Structure formats: C-alpha cells, structure tokens
Amino acid sequence: MCELFETRLNHEDKPMTQAELVAAVKVADVLVPTVTDRIDRAVLTQAGPQLRLIANFGTGVDNVDLDTARNRGILVTNTPGVLTEDTADMTMALILAVPRRIAEGAAYMRNPETKWTGWSPTWMLGHRISGKRLGIVGMGRIGQAVARRAKAFGLQIHYHNRRRVSAALEQELEATYWESLDQMLARMDIISVNCPHTPATYHLLSARRLKLLKPTAYIVNTARGEVIDENELARLLEAGALAGAGLDVFEREPAVNPRLLASNRVVALPHMSSATIEGRIDMGEKVIINIKAFADGHAPPDRVHPAML
C-alpha cells in the first residue's frame, strides 16, 4: 500500500483509540481497520467528506456501524473466503480437543507439581466423536468446511441456517436440515457455532436455548462470542449441565469470563482461529485489491453494501 498510496500505518499492532480513529477519518480517503477497531457512529459522524471507503481487514464487519456508513455514502468492504479453511481447521481441532480432554492432558504433563506414573485403563477418559451428532449453527462457507472435516471423522452432520442449502450440497455432506434451532439443539452431541454476529444473532444461544442442550453435549465457538450468553454458559458448565466447551471467541474480548477460565471443562484460546501467516497475507492482498479497484473507479469485489454503488 505504501508503494501505491500515501499511507499512514499503525506500527504498534494494537487497537486504535477512539481519538486516534477520529483523527484518521477526518483526513483519510480510505480507512483500513481491523476487527478490534470500533468504527461506530461517534467516529463516523466526525469523518471528513473525503472518506469514501472502509476496507476492513477481516471477514466480520460487526466492528463497523454499517447503517451510519451507508447513510454517509461510505463504501465498506471485507475479506471473505480467505480464512475459511483456517477457521474450519481450528473448529475441528476444538471438536476433537474438548471431548478427548487434550488441553487438560497437556496441562497435566507440564505441571511441575504432578508426576505422570504411566498409562492406566481408567485415567483421563474422554469420549469418542465418531458416530456423534454435530449440529452446525450457520451453514455458510465456514460451516460447510467444518461439515466436510467432521464427516471425515465419522460425525453425523446436522445444521440450522437462515436458508436451507442446496439438495446437492446436503447430499454431498449427508447433512440433515433443521428448520427449528430449538429442536436441533436438544438432540445434538456437539454444537459448532459458525454464524456471523449481527443484531439478529446476538445471544442466539440464549439462556433458554442453552438449557435445551443435553448434559452430555459440548459447544464449540469459533465465530463471535456475542452469539452465546456467556454467563449462562459458565453457570451450566459449573453445574455439570454441559459436558464442555471449546471457545476461541468471547463476549467481551479481550476480557474473558474468569469462571470459564477456571473450568476444566473449557478449552479457551485467544481468538486465534484465523491466525496463520498464509491467511494474514491473503487478507492483506484482498484489502489492497479492494482499495485499488475503488481508486481506479471500479466496484471493489468484496463490497458489503453493493446497493450503495
């Protein structure tokens, strides 16, 4: 970008403050935020008239007030598709790690206060995943990639989505569609959350819905923490009403509910599902393509608001 444009960079690799963002939007023609930069109404209403594009470095755009951007005629783009496989890999890793107690076993081996005395037939027992029912909440790119991996591990694929996928895809994945999320949740052994965070999906897995899950069920979330009522999840785990959870995202990041961190039933990761060198390079290339297309007077390929053009 420095070769193509007059560019100012955030060299500290940390979220910009609101004051820093306001200062940026007052002079920038294009803003490139990450998912931790909150581009809300308070920021956008102070933007100069020259700001015409927000090229988000990330797939999710819940960090941007899209309505205010639309009303001010500011185009918003993202970087879809490039993180699908990385996120699906991590989702599958958590689907394996939680029932098989992988993190718990690794922590035991590293603990200087414990001494492993060797194999025994009844120690550190988990559960196999083959033959279990996996319920995918959100059957977009990532949900489908998770389904393909899970099918290879012998899981039965079930899903809930705003729209039913094609019959050909259902046949390929041997996937069962559930119109009712409540009914699916009550019958699954593992739930994988793969839907975006929008006003409609905030606490989609509410306290009421979490109580529908079987006490032997596991939850894996690599989407957005706001989709799950985190306090109720912590309470159910503490009460033994859920078998475990694999969480890469949290409701109030970077703050993490200490009750979740204290639980042996939880595998907690620091929002690293997309953290591969290859993925970050691909994201950057998409950002540059979107900006270059816009600067050349063309429609950027990854428009979140195509109707604005």
Domains of the chain: 18-81+276-308 (3.40.50.720), 84-268 (3.40.50.720)
Closest-CA residue to 234 (of 259, 261, 265): 259
> Is 141 one of the annotated active-site residues of the chain?
no
Length of the chain in terms of residues written = 309
Cβ-based burial of 193 (10 A; exposed 0-12, middle 13-18, buried ≥19): buried
Strand partners, 252: 255
Q: In whole numbers, what is the pLDDT of the chain averaged over residues?
A: 95
Q: Is 20 helix (H, G, I), strand (E, B) or coil?
A: helix
Per-residue confidence (pLDDT) for residue 14, from 0 to 100: 86
Per the residue annotation, which of 133, 235, 271, 280 is the catalytic one?
271
Q: What is the dihedral of CA 105, 110, 115, 118, to 10 degrees?
A: 40
Q: Sign of torsion, CA 218 239 180 198?
A: negative
Per-residue confidence (pLDDT) for residue 308, from 0 to 100: 42
Per the residue annotation, which of 158, 197, 224, 303 is the catalytic one?
224
pLDDT band at 305; cut points 50, 70, 90:
low
> Is 271 one of the annotated active-site residues of the chain?
yes
Q: In the β-sheet with 30-31, what is the strand arrangement from edge to edge? A: 30-31, 53-55, 75-77
Determine contact, residues 44/18, Cβ cutoff 8 Å.
no
Q: What is the tens place of the pLDDT at every residue in 202-220?
A: 999 999 999 999 999 999 9
Closest-CA residue to 204 (of 178, 229, 177, 241): 229
Per the residue annotation, which of 253, 259, 280, 305 is the catalytic one?
253
pLDDT higher than 60, residue 307: no
Report whether the peptide linkage leading into residue 215 is cis, meaning its omega lies within 30 degrees of zero.
no
pTM: 0.89
Q: What is the tens place of the pLDDT at every residue in 235-250?
A: 999 999 999 999 999 9
> Is 160 one of the annotated active-site residues of the chain?
no
Q: Sign of torsion, CA 10 11 13 18?
A: negative
Q: Sign of torsion, CA 253 258 259 263?
A: positive
Lowest-confidence pick of 110-119, 159-168, 300-309: 300-309
Report, as an integer, the average pLDDT of 32-59: 95
Q: Are strands 53-55 and 218-221 parallel, antiparallel or unpaired?
A: unpaired
